[in-house]
Structure 1
Amino acid sequence: MSKLRRPEGSARTRRDTAAGLSATVFTVALVLVAALPAKLAAAEQLFTETQAARGERAFLTNCAGCHGYSMISIFARYRNAFDYFGVISTSMPWEDAGALPIQDYIDIVAYMMRENGYASGGAELPPDRAVLEQIQP
């Protein structure tokens, strides 16, 4: 007795091929996610919600009068958070550049991070060049 073979392109063959392809795509996705730089994961939780709220108050008090909310999208144009921090801490507010406490400037950076989609975490963003250089808006 001869064995019956399914014709190529049968529903079962297509289903088996689709299942194999899905498993391959899933495996590749897992490998890619595992390969994400650790600094990206860390940067997404480098500030607290309390710090971002302080930054929002500092921004509204010292920046929004001239810049409105346009600075939120401008943050993304900087190479990293240190560059942004450097500009705002040395040249803003324009009438008294660099006059705010360093903590206000770093809190504003935390606010910009929150507004640009970073998740808050359990530790405050420090005014640390090495940390800030790793954060790419």
Structure 2
Amino acid sequence: MLRLRFILPVMALGLAAGTAMAQMGPSSVWQGIYTPDQAARGDGVYQQACGACHGAALGGTGEAPPLIGGEFISHWDTMTVGDLYDRVRTTMPQNNPQSLTREQYADVLAYLLKANGFPEGAVPLDRRSEVLATIGITAEKPASGATGQ
């Protein structure tokens, strides 16, 4: 009985925290999940660390795929920003994976989101995978009012 008195409140607290976290943050890339300053920083990091392979204009070169346009968006459609972040963070730059800080990877991701037409917001893109995993990527903009704004 003592164990049950301890477990039930802990479970309730965990559920409440998970619900609160889901309600607090955006759940779509269409909700403005990065700032203009963050995207600008990301542009600089991208040009230095990524542009040689993916092209200065994000169009891809050789075997490096484009990071802008329909092919890129359709590849990530229905996945999460966390999926994209973890892929970039753990595999790029190809010659030196995980060589940037988490903040720099988030900045680069903000730049990619901006370049692909997703709206800016007032709060910088988070650097934590578990937070980014709650934000969905959808190719098509939801109908007005469906973005939670």
Q: Does 1:72 align with 2:68?
A: yes
| TM-score of the pair, normalised by structure 2 | 0.59
3-state DSSP of counterpart to 1:107: helix
More helix by share: 1
For the 8 Å contact 1:47–1:120, the answer to whether it is kept is yes
Alignment of 1:1-137 (within 5 A): 39-40=27-28, 43-68=30-55, 69=58, 70-73=66-69, 75-76=72-73, 77-78=75-76, 79-133=79-133, 134-137=135-138
**Cα RMSD (Å) of the superposition?**
1.9
CA displacement at 1:44 relative to structure 2? 2.4
Give 1 or 2 for the bigger CA radius of gyration.
Answer: 1
> CA 1:82–1:75 in structure 2 vs 1: closer, same or farther (change >3 Å)?
farther
Runs (4 or more) in structure 1 with deviation over 6 Å come to none
Work out the CA distance in 2 between the residues paired with 1:121 and 1:75. 22
Work out the CA distance in 1 between the residues paired with 2:43 and 2:72. 14
Work out the CA distance in 1 between the residues paired with 2:128 and 2:72. 18
For the 8 Å contact 1:75–1:112, the answer to whether it is kept is no
Could you tell me which runs of 5 or more consecutive residues in structure 1 were left unpaired when the two chains were aligned. Answer: 1-37
3-state DSSP of counterpart to 2:67: helix
CA-to-aligned-CA distance 1:55-100 (integer Å, 9 cap, x gap): 1111111111011112123542222211111111011111111111
> What amino acid is the match of 2:37?
T
Work out the CA distance in 1 between the residues paired with 2:101 and 2:130. 20
Work out the CA distance in 1 between the residues paired with 2:33 and 2:48. 23
CA displacement at 1:127 relative to structure 2? 1.4
For the 8 Å contact 1:114–1:120, the answer to whether it is kept is yes
3-state DSSP of counterpart to 1:85: helix
> CA 1:57–1:75 in structure 2 vs 1: closer, same or farther (change >3 Å)?
farther
CA displacement at 1:43 relative to structure 2? 4.7
Q: How many residues align?
A: 99
> CA 1:67–1:59 in structure 2 vs 1: closer, same or farther (change >3 Å)?
same
Percent identity over the alignment is 27
